[in-house]
Structure 1
Amino acid sequence: MFLDDNNPDYFTADSVPADENVQPERPTISFDGNEASRKRRSMWKRRLAWLIVACAVVLGVIFWLRYVSPYATDCRVKGYVTNVEKRGLVFKTYEVDMVSEQALTDTTRVYSHNLSFSVENPAIVKRLQAMQGTGVPVQIVYKKYYGTLPWRGASKYVIEQIK
């Protein structure tokens, strides 16, 4: 017989005895519970992973509703700018105090407090600083948030524009 390599060929004979006593292995039930506990563990791992993902999504939505999404937009107030200053320890933000025109002209109510706003836009800050203490009324448009973020300012009211 012709061989392709120098190794001996163990299957050169035509009559190879077949092992007729070999039977396929039958599935058996084992009562030690290894496979069932592995399936149970993997099921609990999947449930725990989904629970963590669901909690992260819920917390993300709550954070977005409380701090990112304004609950009132296009709010307007007219008044006089009394103070513009840059405040903060880590995040320096501009804060504006103003007296509303309604509070000055209303004689039936007792004056209670100034209005406080945070400003994100430096161009608006420059215009407000120019109007500070001049007695010129300013109409501002602002947004209200449920919560404050340190980099946005100390107030829940953020000025969008000046008219």
Structure 2
Amino acid sequence: MKKFAWIMGIVLLFVFAGIFWYKFYFVFGEGVKAGSLNYFVKKGVIFKTYEGRIVQEGFQSPSAGELQSNEFRFSVVDEEVALQLERSSGKHVELRYEEFNGMLPWRGTSNFLVTEVLMVRESASATNKELPYSQ
């Protein structure tokens, strides 16, 4: 009976470890999103994480006749990617991301984790603005 309990304990430990890995470390999806970087901040009480949001062009609505902004909320772990995004506020960015089934507090508050900045350029509205007057 003792041997059976040990075997069941080990099997349950492996099953729990597999479920935990699948929930928090298995990359569920990968992709690229582009849009205007709305904000990017480092925040948190215990775990300081980088969080951001881009607003994508166009509108997406869950029901006909309504307008809703299409936002993409994400987290960043890599310091180099975070530095690139800190300097890109208000610009059009193209980001490569990974999607996880669950989020971990030290990885951010989103299931989407940005791994690379592919492109940064001035947004179309910023190029049409007049420069401030200087003497």
State whether TM-score is above 0.5: yes
Does the CA-based 8 Å contact 2:97-2:113 persist in structure 1? Answer: yes
> Residue 15 of structure 2 is aligned with which of 30, 51, 58?
58
| 1:85 is the counterpart of 2:41 | yes
Q: CA deviation at 1:127?
A: 1.2
Instruction: State the partner residue of 1:34.
Output: none
1:93 aligned partner, one-letter code? T
1:89 aligned partner, one-letter code? V
Percent same amino acid at aligned positions?
26
Q: Deviations over 1:92-122 (max 9, x none)?
A: 0000111012449xxx862245211000111
1:60 aligned partner, one-letter code? A
Structure with more helix by fraction: 1
Moved more, 143-152 or 109-118: 109-118
Distance 2:71 2:114 in 1: 15
| Gap regions ≥5 residues in structure 1 | 1-43
Distance 1:85 1:125 in 2: 9
Please provide the CA RMSD for this pair.
1.7
2:52 aligned partner, one-letter code? V
Q: CA deviation at 1:69?
A: 1.0
Compared with structure 1, are the counterparts of its residues 160 and 109 closer, same or farther at alpha carbon in structure 2 (3 Å cutoff)? Answer: farther
Between Structure 1 and Structure 2, whose CA radius of gyration is higher? 1
Distance 1:77 1:109 in 2: 23
Distance 1:118 1:63 in 2: 20
Instruction: State the partner residue of 2:127.
Output: none
Q: Between the two structures, name the one with larger relative contact order (CA 8 Å, sep ≥ 6).
A: 2
TM-score, length of structure 1 as denominator length? 0.66
Counterpart of 1:101 in 2: which secondary structure?
strand
Counterpart of 1:114 in 2: which secondary structure?
strand
1:80 aligned partner, one-letter code? S
Counterpart of 1:61 in 2: which secondary structure?
helix
Report how many residues are paired: 114
Structure with more strand by fraction: 2
> Residue 100 of structure 2 is aligned with which of 105, 129, 145?
145
> Residue 71 of structure 2 is aligned with which of 102, 106, 114?
114
TM-score, length of structure 2 as denominator length? 0.79
1:99 aligned partner, one-letter code? V
Q: CA deviation at 1:137?
A: 1.4
Distance 1:94 1:109 in 2: 32
